[in-house]
């Protein structure tokens, strides 16, 4: 009797191991970790912005509208957070991306203001902040790519056999939403001098 029970338990463990349950869980955790990296890089950018604004403010006090736009966009981004349970919500992801896009646009306008002031461009503090922002934008891009890869792995794991059965009967997990290009991103920006 004991041998039969042990064999049944052992068989159940083998079946659970091959059904993808653990892999699906690992893939979902990878999505959450990748999302945390995305949020961390956005937070880094948000933390740098006040320093950049204050540096430029000293040189370009009359460019109030641009500085105000950056400050407002940063505040809006600070209010917009997505919890891991909303990663499958298309509307929430679009709102998040829109807020981040507005901040990127405001930063672009701010850097144009900086181009108008040669003394500001020569300032070591400004150059350091500008390099940090450029590096942060690159980090954001890498974090988004890693997040999308984690989402792809997760979504594939819950949709392929036999994992799709495990998900249907046990987990009931929904697909996660990847980052998508903003509207008009396929059109190259025009540079004019």
| Whether pLDDT at 34 is above 80 | yes
Task: Give mean pLDDT, residues 59-78.
Answer: 71
Of 74-83, 117-126, 161-170, which gets the smallest average pLDDT? 117-126
Task: Give mean pLDDT, residues 111-123.
Answer: 66
Task: Give mean pLDDT, residues 141-161.
Answer: 94
Task: State residue 179's pLDDT score.
Answer: 84
Return d(Cα 141, Cα 149) in angstroms, integer.
Answer: 12
Q: What three-state secondary structure class fits 24?
A: helix
Task: State residue 17's pLDDT score.
Answer: 60
Task: Give mean pLDDT, residues 109-131.
Answer: 70
pLDDT category of residue 187 using cuts at 50, 70 and 90: low
Task: State residue 175's pLDDT score.
Answer: 94
Q: Is 146 exposed, middle or buried (0-12, 13-18, 19+ CB in 10 A)?
A: middle
Q: Is 182 exposed, middle or buried (0-12, 13-18, 19+ CB in 10 A)?
A: middle
Task: State residue 13's pLDDT score.
Answer: 63
Task: Give mean pLDDT, residues 7-33.
Answer: 80
Task: Give mean pLDDT, residues 79-92.
Answer: 84
Q: Give the pTM.
A: 0.66
| Whether pLDDT at 189 is above 70 | no
Task: State residue 8's pLDDT score.
Answer: 77
Return d(Cα 154, Cα 165) in angstroms, integer.
Answer: 15
Task: State residue 16's pLDDT score.
Answer: 59
């Amino acid at each position: 009797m004991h041998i039969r029970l042990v064999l049944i338990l052992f068989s159940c463990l083998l079946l659970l191991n091959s059904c993808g349950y653990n892999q699906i869980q690992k893939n979902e955790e990878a999505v959450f970790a990748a999302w945390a990296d995305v949020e961390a890089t956005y937070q880094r950018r948000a933390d740098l912005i006040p320093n950049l604004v204050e540096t430029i403010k000293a040189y370009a006090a009359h460019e109030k509208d641009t500085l105000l736009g950056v400050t407002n966009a940063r505040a809006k981004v600070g209010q917009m957070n997505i919890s891991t349970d909303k990663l499958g919500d298309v509307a929430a992801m679009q709102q998040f991306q829109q807020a981040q896009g507005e901040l990127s646009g405001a930063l672009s306008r701010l850097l144009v203001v900086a181009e108008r002031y040669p003394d500001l461009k020569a300032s070591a503090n400004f150059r350091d902040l500008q390099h940090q922002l450029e590096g942060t934008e690159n980090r954001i891009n890498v974090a988004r790519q890693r997040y999308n890869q984690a989402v792809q792995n997760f979504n594939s794991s819950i949709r392929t056999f036999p994992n799709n059965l495990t998900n249907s009967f046990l987990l009931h997990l929904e697909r996660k939403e990847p980052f998508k290009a903003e509207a008009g991103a396929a059109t190259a920006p025009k540079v004019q001098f």
